[in-house]
Structure 1
Amino acid sequence: MIKTHSHANDALVFLHGFCESTKVWEKFAKPLEHKFRIILLDLPGFGQNTQNIHDYSMESMAGYVKQQLDEMGVKKCVLIGHSMGGYVSMAFAEKYGNMLNGLCLFHSSALPDTPEKKENRNKTIEFVEKHGVATFMESFVEPLFYADNRKKLRQEIEMMVQIGKDTPKESITAGLAAMRDRPDRTEVLQKLKCPVLFIFGKDDGAVPLEKALEQCYLPDNSMVNFLAKTGHMGMFERPYETRKAIEKFAETIYG
């Protein structure tokens, strides 16, 4: 699904994470619409974009994003990637860096999976194959949120579980394999010409704090937000702070 408006040259492009869709951004990005051109994309295999997936990798998804932007006449943008969307953003930065005015890694990383994480991806693939998507989603979403936030964000958690349950099994297993096999892109981060915004949750099990610290000094120009009592889902856990961070970042770029 694509949201757009008249600001032609100040695009913010939002990429969702694994087992998510544009729905995770809709409410979050709405207040930014009066200042920027907001583009929400469903990555291949997710949301409304579940047509056939043959070649599934971060690189092919980055190619899909490029194709969509070309079709919309977007020559340059600020790319905001949540989690897996951040991995796609890093692949995009490597191939099409000249199209970036800025890059935001939103609870994401340029680092590859550790051997332990790769092993976990394999176990998860086996689990999904054996028990199905619905069973997997019941246990997958809640731990992404900081423990103390889970009760008050019950509705958001249920929405995410539902988005996941509506995702084809092939998208989930192919997505897990693609994340497992993605390369180290810290060098891309180092060479990037555009400013980079990092948003990290201090209690994010998926992107541990020490891994976050390892990379936030790599770009020439970076802004970093560490959020206390926040897990992996800042757009729900800390919507005001994370939206303000993105708005401020985009304003420094677009003036």
Structure 2
Amino acid sequence: MTNTYTDHGSGDALVFLHGFCESKEVWAEFTQPLQQKFRILALDLPGFGDNTPNSGSYSMESMADEVKRQLDELSIKSCLLVGHSMGGYVGMAFAEKYGHLLRGLCLFHSSALPDTDEKKEQRNKSIDFVERHGVDNFINPFTEPLFYEGNRARLQQEIELMKNIGKATPKESITGALAAMRDRPDRAQVLREAKYPVLFIFGKEDGAVPMDKALEQCHLPGNSMVYFLEKTGHMGMFERTYETRKALEKFAETIFG
């Protein structure tokens, strides 16, 4: 399998992993200013973006192995790993297996905790819906609620971008990833044992990572920075571009000096 990626800038490496039904495109504008200071890699995870179809497994562990393979290919020996949503779940699997390669980790609207029983049931219903009604009918109502309602009017272009990326995703990638997210284990212990700093970015209006879950994990690492954003849902790279980028830039500068 050949991962597809963008590789810009030079210096210490920041590696960006997109979320569910997304692609490396979600990071394109967000990462541009960071390319002046760092080497910026944005990967398409297996089965998503230009990296389709995925004939293998959609587990978080197998995706983490693909990320590792890609970093090896690009001769990256250490990095700050930034994972949005599902990309953060992959990041946690990567941290568990390859933590020695991490200089830092950013969970960007993401979590080390497993799905609740209620969330697992939602995933099952989503799998069933996609199988019965197809990708477009799933993506249309799925996308807009990722954004805080007060931001939707000004971010119609970004919402359309997300819908287009989602609709271009193969059905088997969507159902495979839903099952993989449903079945991922609790990785809170990985945060407790982290020997690198962890940055958490949370939206106060994020239905996918509620505040109680955010508070449950942000104190676990020995060294963590936490950024809570008001009037922000699940898509901080679009909803609060300047603030989230600045937080990440400062975090990276702290790590790399």
> What TM bracket, shorter-length normalisation?
over 0.9
Q: Which residue of 2 aligns with 1:102?
A: 104
Deviations 1:213-234 (A, max 9, x none): 0000000000000000000000
The 5 A counterparts of 1:76-155 are: 76-155=78-157
Q: TM-score with structure 1 length normalisation?
A: 0.98
Q: Which residue of 2 aligns with 1:250?
A: 252
Q: Which residue of 2 aligns with 1:179?
A: 181
Q: 1:2 aligns with which of 2, 5, 28?
A: 5
Displacement of 1:56 after TM fit? 1.8
Q: Aligned equivalents of 1:129 and 1:51: distance in 2?
A: 17
DSSP-derived class of the 1:92 partner = helix
Structure 2 residue 31 is matched with structure 1 residue 29: yes
Equivalent pairs, count: 254
RMSD: 0.8
Q: Aligned equivalents of 1:206 and 1:2: distance in 2?
A: 26
CA contact (8 A) 1:53 1:171 kept: no
Q: Aligned equivalents of 2:8 and 2:155: distance in 1?
A: 30
Displacement of 1:7 after TM fit? 2.5
Q: Aligned equivalents of 2:169 and 2:10: distance in 1?
A: 32
Q: Aligned equivalents of 1:4 and 1:184: distance in 2?
A: 32
Q: TM-score with structure 2 length normalisation?
A: 0.97
Q: Which residue of 2 aligns with 1:199?
A: 201
DSSP-derived class of the 2:7 partner = coil
Q: Aligned equivalents of 2:47 and 2:221: distance in 1?
A: 31
Q: Which residue of 2 aligns with 1:238?
A: 240
Q: 2:171 aligns with which of 166, 169, 172?
A: 169
Q: What is the one-letter code of the residue matched to 2:152? A: R
Q: Against the structure 1 CA distance between its residues 165 and 224, is the aligned structure 2 distance closer, same or farther, given a 3 Å change threshold?
A: same
Q: Aligned equivalents of 2:223 and 2:246: distance in 1?
A: 19
Q: Aligned equivalents of 1:251 and 1:100: distance in 2?
A: 15
CA contact (8 A) 1:61 1:88 kept: yes
Q: Aligned equivalents of 2:10 and 2:33: distance in 1?
A: 14
Among the aligned pairs, what percent are the same residue? 71
After the TM superposition, which segments of 4 or more aligned residues of structure 1 sit over 4 Å from their partners? none
Q: Aligned equivalents of 1:133 and 1:109: distance in 2?
A: 25
Q: Which residue of 2 aligns with 1:217?
A: 219
Unaligned runs of 5+ in 1: none
Q: Aligned equivalents of 2:7 and 2:43: distance in 1?
A: 11
Q: Aligned equivalents of 1:7 and 1:136: distance in 2?
A: 39
Q: Aligned equivalents of 2:58 and 2:148: distance in 1?
A: 30
The 5 A counterparts of 1:47-62 are: 47-62=49-64
Displacement of 1:5 after TM fit? 4.3
Displacement of 1:6 after TM fit? 5.6
Q: Aligned equivalents of 2:87 and 2:8: distance in 1?
A: 23
Q: 1:188 aligns with which of 190, 203, 223?
A: 190
